[in-house]
């Protein structure tokens, strides 16, 4: 049996994938379909299904900020994946290491991280 067959996809054929670095910092959440999981397993780098563009994409294909897979886990319901990765440079397309760079502070979102790269130089 193909290991992908053991997973529970939603009605759109997708499964959420949490991406975390080896130190335990959550980097992002993305969605994967069968093809993106198989491509990730084949290459050792994280691939997602873009819900907006309706296509497969390799994380970091434009920026070079790739996510090398170190470990893959699945939750108890087999419907959410957790990828432990080696993150090259930054994860967030806005220039931050993690996509979670704001936290709720009272009644506003406070920036709690610093940018590591200028997105305008990469995403023109």
Residues 25-40: pLDDT tens digits?
A: 999 999 999 999 999 9
Please state the φ and ψ torsions of residue 3, each to the nearest 5 degrees: -60, -30
Q: CA 21 to CA 9: how far, in whole Å?
A: 24
For the segment(s) 3-89, the CATH number from 3.40.50.300, 2.40.50.140, 3.20.20.80, 3.10.20.810 is: 3.10.20.810
Q: Residue 84's beta-bridge partner residues? A: 20, 71
Map residue 102 onto helix, strand or coil. strand
pLDDT at 123: 87
Across the range 114-124, mean pLDDT stands at 92
Q: CA 50 to CA 55: how far, in whole Å?
A: 5
């Amino acid at each position: 049996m193909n290991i992908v067959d053991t997973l529970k996809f939603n009605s759109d054929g997708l499964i959420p994938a949490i991406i975390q670095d080896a130190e335990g910092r959550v980097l992002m959440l993305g969605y994967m379909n069968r093809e993106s999981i198989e491509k990730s397993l084949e290459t050792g780098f994280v691939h997602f299904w873009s819900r907006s563009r309706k296509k497969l994409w390799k994380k970091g294909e434009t920026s070079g900020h790739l996510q090398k897979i170190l470990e893959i886990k699945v939750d108890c319901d087999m419907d959410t994946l957790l990828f432990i990765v080696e993150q090259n440079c930054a994860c967030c397309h806005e220039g931050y290491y993690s996509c979670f760079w704001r936290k709720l502070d009272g009644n506003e979102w406070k920036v709690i991280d610093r940018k590591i790269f200028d997105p305008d130089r990469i995403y023109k």
